[in-house]
Structure 1
Amino acid sequence: MTDNSQTGPLMAPPAQPPAVPPPQAEPLVDRQGSAIMLICGASFIFATQDGISRHLGATYSPVFITMVRYWFFTLFVVAICLRQPNGLRMAMRSKRPWLQIARGVILALEIVVTIEAFVRLGLINTHAIFACYPLLISILSGPVLGEKVGWRRWLAVAVGFCGILIVLKPGSGVFSANAALPFLGAVMFAVYGLMTRMVARDDTAIVSFFWTSVIGAITMTIIGIRSWEPIAKADIPWLLTLCACAATAHFMLIKAYEMAEASALQPFSYTQLVWVSIFGVLIFGETLAPNVAIGGLIVVGAGLFTWWRSRQREKAALARS
């Protein structure tokens, strides 16, 4: 299982056998319905996590917040790995350690960048721009993975970036240097996603899950331990809730992807954008401007189209085999 503690829409893990084989007695329809409920619940919790990160980010540095999150998250991952056959010994055996290290570092830094974007731009504007990461994966999958990118996917990418321009609305306050932060985060998360696909060719999901958490914790500790900040008593519950959200949401993801295929669940991860918009308006007093709503819908629609085209290509390949 890969780490989905990123702050944008949830990414499906690599296609790997589930860590614990699901029971066969439960009907397939019921299992998929339960998986959808779990993925939607995880999306809500990740949106809550983003809101708490935005709240804490106004007082503490994103590096400090991310470091504490990774400490707690690593403890959670180690506990999960210990329950698997051969425990940590199996989880540590990566056939592509350097690539695992690179993706772990990139994801940790991406979280720092995105939390900073939350503080500067707000939840809604950040997620509206960050939602372009599936389109960036489509662009990079050709030169990086050698995948063929057809004209339909290129058209979807073009439409998606038109949506980003609508969000940015040149001449408005959003179109500024700060807008580069969520876009940088989206680029970093897209690179992380491509690396995840690459390591999935040789490593199991639980191996990637372990390396992501441990490397992220080491990276953030090296960067952030010198900038340790005293935590106000009023903020301790928020920080603990933030860490608990990460563990709970990841546990729900594990269970969801045990019950149904990742490709069937991926569209439901976009419900996180709905919750983020609600939290931004009701809790943080943000404004859901018409251009942001329209542009965000265009970006999400383009992303869903690229997902649909990938599904069609997979079905066609299976039919030919």
Structure 2
Amino acid sequence: MPSAVSPAVSSRTGFGIGMMLLGMVGMVAMDACAKWLSGAYPINQIVFFRMAFGLLPALVLVWAEGGWPSLRSGNLKMQALRALAGAGAIFAFFTSLRYLGLAEATAIAFVAPLVVTALSVPLLGESVGWRRWTAVTVGFVGAMIILRPGSEAFQWAAILPLAAGVCYALALITTRVLARTDANAAIVFWNALIIAVAAGLSLPFAWVTPSWGDLGLFALMGLLGGVSIYWITLAFRNAPAAVLAPFDYSALLWSTLIGWLIWRELPDAWVWAGAVLLIGSGLYVLYRETRAKTA
């Protein structure tokens, strides 16, 4: 019996999965650069270089989507709100990397898709059934297993990737609103520019002159972040979100591998147990949302 999926569609989906995996590797490598630099440089400086160098790949996306006209925005207020949420996410996450292992911080930040579901009710007026609320609850239990509040293993810094996940969720929600009026290029470019300018204004108050080697690492970090966003954009253009979602969680595998290779860090059993609940809940929420849209 002939396949129901044409070779062209299958090829595009495979390409999309490849781009998603590449994007996740790039994002984790960017985080590793930030973690390495965080021991010697203030966080505002790390954020500034991340966004400033990240503007270069963003310009490629602008060119791919039709040039400067693609930067027109129909909702400047929402662009500013998205940048504010994005700034909160990156400042909190990069700060957490000073104190936590790369994989541990990554695992906690996986709370973001669940926060999107929870906040979509009051902010977007969406309907969420009991099954998805149950999955959100289970996911937050997973986050608490990783955090272990009240125990001797609890670290205050573990709150930072949780806060980053909440801010990132707010950024995703504003992106949903902006997607109705603005091109991807406008969303990516203005977000990077606004955060870069805001972080740049703080540099006189906290600045360490980098060595040439570290300046190269700053540039690599920013380029990796910008290029990874472009790769992930290509992924969503070629494959459905439901297909790509499991590969999004490959970031935990890459962060574990890189964390072990560079810092000899390995997550403990509690982190893995909580991560399983977080990832499973996130995938189930996506499954329910996909069914609701196709029903």
Find the aligned partners of 1:173 and 1:197 in 2 and give their Cα distance. 40
Number of the residue aligned with 1:278: 257
Residues 121 and 174 in structure 1, CA contact (< 8 A), matched pair in contact too: no
1:34 aligns with 2:3: no
| In 1: Cα distance, 2:37 partner to 2:46 partner | 8
User: Does the alignment pair 1:95 with 2:81?
Assistant: no
After TM superposition, give the deviation of residue 50 of structure 1 in Å.
1.0
Deviation at 1:99, TM superposition (A): 0.9
Distance 2:7 2:129 in 1: 39
CA RMSD of aligned residues (A): 1.9
Matched, 1:297 2:276: yes
Match of 1:135 in 2: 114
Cα distance in 2, alignment partners of residues 199 and 160 from structure 1: 27
Q: Which moved more, 1:166-175 or 1:187-196?
A: 166-175
Indicate the SS of the match to 2:98. helix
The one-letter code of the counterpart of 1:273 is L
Kindly provide the CA deviation profile for residues 274-298 of structure 1, in whole angstroms up to 9, marking residues without a partner as x. 1111222232122321111111111
Q: Is the 8 A contact 2:53 2:222 kept in 1?
A: yes
Query: What one-letter code is carried by the residue in structure 2 that aligns with 1:133?
Result: A
C-alpha separation between the residues in 1 aligned to 2:152 and 2:164?
A: 20
Contact 1:91 1:210 in 2 (8 A): no
Contact 2:106–2:252, Cα closer than 8 Å, also in 1: yes
- Equivalence for 2:218: 239
TM-score (norm 2): 0.92
Counterpart residue number, 1:197: 176
- State yes or no: 1:164 paired with 2:106: no
> CA separation in 2, counterparts of 1:252 and 1:190?
20
What amino acid sits opposite 1:55 in the alignment?
W
Q: Which runs of structure 2 are paired with 1:1-321 in the superposition (5 Å)?
A: 27-85=8-66, 87-88=67-68, 90-316=69-295
Aligned length: 290
Aligned residues of 2:47 and 2:91 also touching (Cα < 8 A): yes
For residues 218 and 200 of structure 1, the distance between their equivalents in structure 2, rounded to whole angstroms, comes to 23
Write the letter of the residue equivalent to 1:205.
N
Instruction: Report which stretch shifted further, 208-217 or 73-82.
Output: 73-82
**C-alpha displacement of 1:123:** 1.1
Cα offset, 1:35, TM superposition: 1.2
Report the CA distance between 1:189 and its aligned residue: 0.7
What runs of 5+ residues in structure 1 fail to find an aligned partner?
1-24, 317-321
Deviations 1:56-107 (A, max 9, x none): 111111110110111111233234324543x22x233211101111111220
Distance 1:111 1:240 in 2: 17
CA-to-partner distance for each residue in 1:15-61, whole Å, 9 max, x for gaps?
xxxxxxxxxx9711111111111111111111111111111111111
Task: Please say if residues 114 and 282 of structure 2, whose CA atoms lie closer than 8 Å, have aligned partners that are also in contact.
Answer: yes
Distance 1:225 1:262, change over 3 A: farther
Match of residue 3 from structure 2: none
Contact 2:121/2:127 (CA < 8 Å) preserved in 1? yes
Provide closer, same or farther for how the CA distance between residues 174 and 185 of structure 1 changes in structure 2, counting only shifts above 3 A.
Answer: farther
User: For each residue in 1:197-252, what CA deviation from the matched residue of structure 2 results, as whole angstroms up to 9, or x when unmatched?
Assistant: 11222222222122212222222222335423210233233222212312332332
SS at match of 2:146: helix
Provide closer, same or farther for how the CA distance between residues 214 and 91 of structure 1 changes in structure 2, counting only shifts above 3 A.
farther
